[in-house]
Amino acid sequence: MRIVHLELGRHLYGGAKQVVYLINAIHAQNAPIEQHLVCAKESDIAALSLPGCVTHALPYAGEVDMSMLWRLAGLVRAVKPDILHVHSRRGADVWGALIAHKTGIPAICTRRVDNIECALNKFKYAQYKAVISISNGVKKVVSARCPATVHQQVIHSAVDLAEFNYSADKAWFCRKFDIPDDVKVIANFAQLITRKGQSELISAMQEVIRQHPDTLCLLFGKGKMQAEYQRQIDHAGLQQHVRLCGFTNEVAIILPNIDLLVHPAHAEGLGVILLQAGACKVPVIASPSGGIPEIIIEQQTGWLTPAGNTQLLSDAIVNALNSTNLRQHYRKNLFDHVSNHFSTASMADSYIALYNKIKR
């Protein structure tokens, strides 16, 4: 069976990282599958050498680049895949739907975000044999637009435990981020955009430091709200307790050194950073948005607090910092939950079964 994966993301995180996990896991299982990856030229994923996969890096100027349709059609004619698997948005979901309609090749679309779509998207989804959601939260959104005749299924995103297997190195961590000894560290890893909830986290820190003055909050990421968040930090006088640290490629090394991950997102397809925290045995406070409750189960694998409620968020952080035993209990449960339900092998098994089901 020959599969063409279509992933047009520029950076190697989120969906693009999941594509790498899937390609590697399928190869590791020695399944009789020939894999091809179509990606954007000069993207991060194009630079990788993926075992058992042929990479086709095509020029791509973004969602308005109509010429990509012709380039993709030519490649599909040359490769003759049994299945076209579309992983990213960025126009790929539209181009994939058009190619599937024109060629009759069975196509799968993996949907990773829980943004509400307009009614016209039902025509896009109608061209696919299957639309896969990475969480039940995403599936609720997809089901509103996807025709009932199209196969719908949840296949969770995954985390590679071997990739997140670093031990804590407090000396390196404190030196790297100029952190004094005996400081509790809270962290958030996300784009600096409104729906990720960092504004509420910054506000919550005012009450947190009143009760736990030796607490530091590190916000990792970049985005359009960066300047606004810095103004918020300055206005609240939190410069010594909240820092904007920019984007980092060292998430796997940083995570084992923090005391608490806080992810108060207003919308989230699933929350891969939560899987990564689980792999690193880091306790988590998050909001019950999108697919998050499928990872963070209240009073089992972490704490859930309503998105947008600063008071309840600060209460949850204070309670977590007050209870070392509870943090230890939740982080162990989260590690077990992630290990058992969000492995790359399990994700690959589900997709291989789907490929076999829809192959012509």
Q: Is 125 found in the same domain as 174?
A: no
Q: Is 211 found in the same domain as 129?
A: no
Q: Is 174 found in the same domain as 195?
A: yes
CA 250 distance to own-chain centroid: 16
Buried b vs exposed e over 171-204: b needs ≥16 C-beta within 10 Å?
Answer: eebeeeeebeeeebbbbbbbbbbeebbbbbbbbb
**Contact 27/36 with Cβ under 8 angstroms?**
no
Following DSSP, what letter does each residue of 198-227 receive, concatenated? HHHHHHHHHHHHHH-SSEEEEEE---TTHH
Q: Is 194 found in the same domain as 124?
A: no
Kindly state whether residue 163 falls inside one of the protein's structural domains: no
Average of per-residue pLDDT across 58-63: 87
Residues 39, 209: Cα–Cα separation, whole Å: 46
Average of per-residue pLDDT across 199-223: 97
Q: Is 233 found in the same domain as 101?
A: no
- pLDDT, residue 360, reads 67
Kindly state whether residue 165 falls inside one of the protein's structural domains: no
Domain count along the chain: 2
Only one residue has tokens 């490629």, namely 249
pTM recorded for the entire structure: 0.91
**Contact 216/233 with Cβ under 8 angstroms?**
no
**Contact 281/159 with Cβ under 8 angstroms?**
no
According to DSSP, residue 115 is labeled: -
The strand pairing partners of 243, in sequence order, are 218
CATH number at 253 reads: 3.40.50.2000
Q: Is 352 found in the same domain as 296?
A: no
Give me the domain span that covers residue 137.
2-158+343-358
Residue 318 — very low, low, confident or very high, per pLDDT cuts 50/70/90?
A: very high
Only one residue has tokens 């209240």, namely 298
Q: Is 272 found in the same domain as 187?
A: yes
Kindly state whether residue 164 falls inside one of the protein's structural domains: no
Checking if the pLDDT of 202 tops 70, the result is: yes
- pLDDT, residue 181, reads 85
Q: Is 348 found in the same domain as 337?
A: no
